[in-house]
Structure 1
Amino acid sequence: MSKSIWVVVANRVTARIFATENPLGPIEEIETLLHPESRVPQQSLVSDRSGRTERSTAGRQSSDPDTAHHEHESTLFAAQVATTLAKARNDGRYGTLVLAAPPAFLGALRKALDPQTKNLVTLELDKDLALLDARTLRTHFPERLVRAQT
């Protein structure tokens, strides 16, 4: 099994994978996954959504947005990320996994991970850090990234 530690920083649009061999050292980005479908405005995803209505006394009013399509796209992307991580685990590319994502996407990712990959997760952070550079990102984690037991 690899001694490499992978740090996955994701949200519903982007998943960035960083790696390090040293639990006290810097991390380096090795892969980026994108899911632009999650970026599409709600109006473009739902073709039969009711539009705005005019009211003579209250001005414009909009219906409550249906978030089912965004949730579906997030679930699809979480599954894509989980598949990538499972393949890398099978290829022996890492031995420890650290996850950081906003709470909703972290939950979707947890559900999508297979049990063997889930067992390698040693640390989770429920924050959206996907846009940070590697040096800044590293400061959001403990000084020592925890290694899986061998």
Structure 2
Amino acid sequence: MHKETWVVVCNKEKARIFEVEKFGNLREIYTMVHPQSAMKAEMLTRDGLGRTNEMFRSGHSTMDPTTPLKLKEAMNFAKEVAKYLESQKNGMRYTRMFIMAEPSFLGILRDELNHNVVKCVEGEIPKDLTKLDAKAIWEHMPIA
């Protein structure tokens, strides 16, 4: 494997991008964090959901979002990660990629990836490995 191979390790709060320097050796080259995904839902609504108190209706009503706020934040982060990966692909920084992601986030990220990025994905591992060091991450590679 050459330096054009990347390993993306992510969950809904953090994305770590590694470059394969040589077989068995990963070097972290970029990290993205999304602290909003770690927040409790009630903290995300600090401004409050829209409320109405109309005199012609009985009581108060809260306007619920159609998508849960935690999911919206995960989707926002997936868009950020996908945008970064697309820009780096356009800059010819990698030609191959492996994605290791928390299972629920993997599906969200997959939906956001550009078709040119998807063509570079050679493997997916549905595990959250964001807290592991590079050596431990390598041990989960499908080719290790």
For normalisation by structure 2, the TM-score amounts to: 0.81
Secondary structure of 2:132's counterpart equals coil
Deviation at 1:102, TM superposition (A): 1.1
Counterpart of 1:127 in structure 2 is 127
Root-mean-square deviation (CA, aligned residues, Å) is: 1.9
| Equivalent residue letter for 1:34 | V
| Equivalent residue letter for 1:37 | Q
Distance in 2 of aligned mates of 1:18 and 1:33: 12
Is 119-128 or 13-22 further displaced after alignment? 13-22
For normalisation by structure 1, the TM-score amounts to: 0.78
Quickly say closer, same or farther: Cα 1:21–1:137, change in 2 above 3 A: same
Is the 1:16–1:32 contact (alpha carbons within 8 Å) kept by the matching residues of 2? yes
Matched, 1:73 2:78: no
Is the 1:3–1:95 contact (alpha carbons within 8 Å) kept by the matching residues of 2? no
Q: Following TM superposition, where does structure 1 have runs of at least 4 consecutive aligned residues deviating by more than 2 angstroms?
A: none
Secondary structure of 1:83's counterpart equals helix
Distance in 1 of aligned mates of 2:118 and 2:35: 26
Counterpart of 2:28 in structure 1 is 29
Distance in 2 of aligned mates of 1:10 and 1:3: 20
Q: Deviations over 1:4-23 (max 9, x none)?
A: 1100000000000000143x
Is the 1:88–1:94 contact (alpha carbons within 8 Å) kept by the matching residues of 2? yes
Distance in 2 of aligned mates of 1:75 and 1:115: 18
Q: How many residues align?
A: 126
Secondary structure of 2:74's counterpart equals helix
Deviation at 1:67, TM superposition (A): 7.3
Q: Deviations over 1:30-71 (max 9, x none)?
A: 0000101111112212335xxxxxxxxxxxxxxxxx971010
Structure 2 unaligned residues grouped into runs of 5+: 50-65
Counterpart of 2:136 in structure 1 is 136
Is the 1:7–1:19 contact (alpha carbons within 8 Å) kept by the matching residues of 2? yes
Distance in 2 of aligned mates of 1:34 and 1:69: 17
Distance in 2 of aligned mates of 1:31 and 1:3: 14
Is the 2:4–2:93 contact (alpha carbons within 8 Å) kept by the matching residues of 1? yes
Deviation at 1:143, TM superposition (A): 3.7
Matches within 5 A, 1:11-30: 11-22=11-22, 24-30=23-29
Distance in 2 of aligned mates of 1:69 and 1:119: 31
Secondary structure of 1:92's counterpart equals coil
Counterpart of 1:62 in structure 2 is none
Counterpart of 1:106 in structure 2 is 106
